[in-house]
Amino acid sequence: MSGEVQSWKGLNQERGLQRPGDTRWESHYKILDNFVILFSSIIHVLGVIECECDVNDRLQAEGKIKAFEFIFLLHLMLKVLIMSNELSKALQKKEQDIVNAMIFLDITNERMQEIRDERWETLMDEVSSFCAKHDILVHKMEEFYIPGKSKRRLSSVTYSHYLRVELFYAVINFPLLEFNSRFDVVSSNLLLGMASLNPANSFANFDKERIMTLVKHYPDEFGELKL
Percent of all residues in the chain with a pLDDT value above 70, rounded to a whole number? 59
The whole-number average pLDDT for the span 206-213 is 69
Q: What 3-state class would DSSP assign to 73?
A: helix
pLDDT digits (tens, 9 = 90+) for 7-29: 434 444 455 555 555 446 567 88
Q: What is the DSSP string of 135-190?
A: T-PPPPTTSBP-SSS-GGG--SSBHHHIIIIIIIIHHHHHHHHHHHHHS-HHHHHH
pLDDT digits (tens, 9 = 90+) for 42-67: 888 877 765 566 667 667 777 888 89
Please tell me the number of Cα atoms within 13 Å of 98 on its side-chain side.
19
pLDDT of residue 11: 43
pLDDT digits (tens, 9 = 90+) for 123-133: 999 999 999 99
91/223: higher pLDDT: 91
The whole-number average pLDDT for the span 167-181 is 88
Domain boundaries, the chain: 24-183
The number of helices, as runs of H, and strands, as runs of E, in the chain is: 11, 0
Q: What 3-state class would DSSP assign to 108?
A: helix
- In whole angstroms, what is the distance from residue 171 CA to residue 28 CA? 15
Taking 60 as the threshold, does the pLDDT of residue 122 lie above it? Answer: yes
- In whole angstroms, what is the distance from residue 114 CA to residue 37 CA? 25
- Provide the whole-model pTM: 0.70
pLDDT of residue 60: 75
